[in-house]
Amino acid sequence: MQAAFGSGSLWGVITQFADGSIPATPTIAKVGTLQEWSLNVQWDIRQLYGGFDSPVAIGRGKAKYPLKFKFAQLNANLLQAFVFGAPGQPVTGETLMAEDEQHSVPSSAPYNLTISPPNSGTFAADWGVRYAASGLTLTKVASAPSAGQYSVSGGVYTFASADANAAMLVSYEYALAGGYTIQVSRQLLGSLPAFKFFGKVLFSGKQLTVKMNQVVASKLSMQTKIDDFMIPEIDAEAFADASGTVMYLSMVEL
- DSSP for the chain? -----S--EEEEEEEE-TTS---SSPPEEE-TTEEEEEE--EEEEEEE--SSSS-SEEEEEEEE-EEEEEE----HHHHIIIII--TT-SEEEEEEEEEEEEEE--SSSS-EEE---GGG-EEEEEEEEEETTT-PBPEE-SSS--TTEEEEETTEEEE-GGGTT-EEEEEEEEEEEEEEE-------TT---EEEEEEEEEETTEEEEEEEEEEEEEEEE---BTTB----EEEEEE---TTS---EEE-S--
Q: What is the pTM of this model?
A: 0.88
| pLDDT tens for the chain, residues 1 to 254 | 999 999 999 999 999 999 999 999 898 999 999 999 999 999 999 999 999 999 999 999 999 999 999 999 999 999 999 999 988 889 999 999 999 999 999 999 999 999 999 999 999 999 999 999 999 999 999 999 999 999 999 999 999 999 999 999 999 999 999 999 999 888 888 889 999 999 999 999 999 999 999 999 999 999 999 999 999 999 999 999 999 999 999 999 98
Topology of the domain covering 9-39+62-90+185-250: Pnp Oxidase; Chain A (2.30.110)
Question: Domain ranges in the chain?
Answer: 9-39+62-90+185-250, 93-179
